[in-house]
Structure 1
Amino acid sequence: MSDERPLDPADGGVTTEVRGRILLMGLDRPAKMNGYTPQMARQLVAAFERLDEDEDLWCGVLFGHGAHFTAGLDLPKFRDAMKDGRRSTQGERVDPMALGRRCRKPIVTAVHGVTYTLGIEMMLAGDIVVAADDCRFSQLEPLRGIHAAGGATIRFVDRGGWGNAMYHLLTSDEFDAEEARRVGLVQEVVPAGTQLDRAIQLAEKICEGAPKAVQATKASSAIYLRDGEAACIAALGPKQAELAAMDDAEEGVAAFRERRAGNFTGR
């Protein structure tokens, strides 16, 4: 789906780069601390849809250009949408915030510097987070007269528990990468400047697995979170039968017997 609106350089964008089976997606408005604009939102949706639909791409890595991941929404540019409750990805498009249609492929997010509001929600919408040790996090929407509407009130509670979530959501305090790891928001903390390389390494590790099996694993966990244990259990057998009938399952057995890495194709 294309977007024909003219681009405004001042409103930034999202870069994309293919590295093997990985799609790198970079928030690109560094002069404004990657403050997120509607133009960036449209481009990020397009990037996520490319990742979701291209069978040659098996994993995505999301990061920010410049000194920071993102300072969050550029509020004046979203004011009208907030007033009428609109979201830029309502409908059938892939939603980078995973509040609507989820991307089927895994997302590894590398964060650094200022990672405020939408930045926290964006990383929690993905699957694995690598944080630089210079990260500064804050979910400060109440200080701007609004509340977090991109998933923080769901995923912060889910990852960190009620008390930890309320501590940070209600106080709007700033906290560091070690605190984010302590409460389960990030999985690794690495020296600043190495976060993107580490995220790519993890994406490459994910790509060692059969892509349909990896996608099924993510989807199974998403069913559990959305529909509960019984629905997740009910879907396990049929999906396993589907996977077992694929060429990649045969390759997996051969790789096991021959004690070598699998050479998977997605078929």
Structure 2
Amino acid sequence: MPAITPTTPPPEGCIDTQVLGHVLLIGINRPAKRNGWTPSMFRQLAEAYTRLDDDPDLRVGVLHAFGDHFTAGLDLPAVSAYMQRGEKATPEGLVEPHDYGLPGYRRRTKPMVVAVKGICFTVGIELMLGADIVVAADDCRFSQMEVQRGIMATGGATLRMAERAGTGNALLHLLTADEFGSAEAFRLNFVQRVVPAGQELGEALRIAERIAAQAPLAVVATRLNVLKAIEQGPAAAVAEFIPVQKRLANSEDAAEGVRAFIERRPAQFRGR
């Protein structure tokens, strides 16, 4: 794996980005505060997600963190005023990283892989559940502890925990604010791979590069069809099968896929 060197973050933290081929690495950078989230970090994260969707050369995102921990959650003193006013720290019109269809925000179309390690609390869980594929280090500590602070999880946990693990399992962790490890997160389908600590980013990047080697238009269409089935039901997803397949089958990438099959070589897709 190539060396990934963070910038020196300001006190309020920042989001670092780095391009590796067709992959956009998105790094949470406030390790001195266990990557506690501030308003400026939320804005920069949305800008990075928007860049991923808008740049035709980028095909997959990888969200990761610098330091020993993914995130200890919200920096409450920094974000409490926004909560009290009912405001979002992210400007409207950008891709909203939690991806649950908040009015005024765009939804992500391209895949996102997440590498989590160490502490992964509250917003960290919600960001990983709002992504597509999660690789967890075996030393992770998870907790959705909003009820301990007198607030509610509003980044998607109340939706996606039950979707992935069932109502009882979701409420067990949402209502007790308990701490659980990587094995439990894997059991609940919150994460897809558990690897030895230190290998999580390399594995996430390997998965992302494998996705990036596929036909970009087909990858996006497949992802969106899965989400449509989850959010709107099987009938809505099935209704798209023929028109979407027709569009894909007439693309340059589909023609390249056929040529590569005939010539017995890896396809060179261009996203057209």
Both structures adopt the same fold (TM-score exceeding 0.5)? yes
Pairs within 5 Å for 1:196-207: 196-207=201-212
**TM-score of the aligned structures, taking structure 2 as reference length:** 0.93
> How far is the alpha carbon of 1:197 from its aligned partner?
0.5
The letter for the 1-side match of 2:22 is R
The letter for the 2-side match of 1:233 is V
Where in structure 2 are there 5+ consecutive unaligned residues? 1-8
What is the aligned partner in structure 2 of residue 98 from structure 1? Answer: 99
Pairs within 5 Å for 1:1-267: 9-89=10-90, 91-100=92-101, 101-267=106-272
> How far is the alpha carbon of 1:84 from its aligned partner?
2.6
> How far is the alpha carbon of 1:90 from its aligned partner?
6.4
The letter for the 1-side match of 2:88 is R
> Is the 8 Å Cα contact of residues 72 and 120 (structure 2) preserved in structure 1?
yes
Q: Which runs of 4+ in 1 moved over 6 A?
A: none
Measured in 2, the distance between the counterparts of 1:89 and 1:104 equals 18
Identity %: 53
> How far is the alpha carbon of 1:138 from its aligned partner?
0.3
> How far is the alpha carbon of 1:253 from its aligned partner?
1.1
Secondary structure at the residue paired with 1:98?
coil
> How far is the alpha carbon of 1:225 from its aligned partner?
2.0
Once the two structures are superposed, residues 150-187 of structure 1 have per-residue CA deviations (whole angstroms, 9 ceiling, x without a partner) of 00000001011111111111111100001100110000
> How far is the alpha carbon of 1:83 from its aligned partner?
1.4
**TM-score of the aligned structures, taking structure 1 as reference length:** 0.95
Give the number of aligned pairs.
260
Measured in 1, the distance between the counterparts of 2:242 and 2:75 equals 45
Measured in 2, the distance between the counterparts of 1:109 and 1:215 equals 17
Measured in 2, the distance between the counterparts of 1:146 and 1:90 equals 22
Measured in 2, the distance between the counterparts of 1:87 and 1:216 equals 29
